[in-house]
Structure 1
């Protein structure tokens, strides 16, 4: 199996939504959450400034299959890792870590000095995973980051566990 990361294309939209829904099912199951917010639509994701990278795998002579993505917002001078999803059928193979590294490289190339994210503190594939990638817990220090918290509160995400901001600086 070969894995590669590339920029997303318009044809990836449906697959990206499917990957996010499948990955979210792990959180829904963990939290027994009947009220989980649906994945972002292609129109919502496309309207946001930033970049979207897709991980593809190739097995044998089959065509490449998208199995994960990372979406980084670029708003008010900030680079914020908004979403990282890997289809559970392809989990625990380093694909998420590869997507994070590619996103960090892209953010650095675009002139950013740090990347932030918000996640669950106590979910093993959330904050502990990001810590293993070099992210550390940090305080929201801008209006942009405070708006993210307000959005999480409106979606009632903290009902399922403690949310934290994490940052990595280059």
Structure 2
């Protein structure tokens, strides 16, 4: 039986708590997101849910578990030194309207805006740098680049070179890849 959006969010929050997430997860139905207080995080659920509801019911429970692993692994610590991080830096494209909307919302609420370096790609996209963990990606923030002693431009060049050197990788249905695509 398929879950509603609210049921999906509540199941995911409960599963995150069950497996030992240190923070408290709250569901924001209006934004269709989960918010965590420790570590501070917002998980937009739209793409996760869209992927989940397309799966046969017998695959949905495993999919929920993979989402939990993906969310929790994205809170892993980054390497302290650039040389240990260099090989795992990748580019991520964002829908420009999505980022601008999140940044504007933060400003209206008196919160800090987007803290990751973004480079415009054409009129409708931004590029950022992420660290590619085995089961998730984590956006690189300005403070991470400061720790490594590099500029956003240098990080993007490293990430571009890594993409050139990588072999082609196939994407499988149900692997949560599409949930990481913004838009």
| Fold match (TM-score > 0.5) | no
More strand by share: 1
TM-score normalized with structure 1 length: 0.31
Structure number, greater radius of gyration: 2
TM-score normalized with structure 2 length: 0.29
